[in-house]
Amino acid sequence: MYFYALNHVEFIRVNNYKMVFKIWKLLEVTYEEISQMKYSRLITLTREYKLFKMEPNESIHEIYNRFIT
């Protein structure tokens, strides 16, 4: 019954577990790691954004392309 709320990837990860508590703990750890990774990436991108500046002799077109990349 609890499996209906899971997507395919989550279902494959937990389908061998029979106890709901073990399934919950596995999903909790998985999503906690994902949240930590997203937070770390956000910090990195924020830092890169704050340090982003136009280089000497760089055109608007070049800085725009570098920014988009």
R_g of the chain, CA atoms, integer Å: 21
Residue 23 near residue 2, CB atoms below 8 Å = yes
Residue range(s) defining the domain that contains residue 17: 2-34+43-68
Q: How confident is the model over 35-67, as pLDDT tens digits?
A: 888 888 889 989 999 999 999 999 999 999 988
The count of structural domains within the chain is 1
pLDDT band of 5, cuts 50, 70, 90: low
pLDDT of residue 63: 92
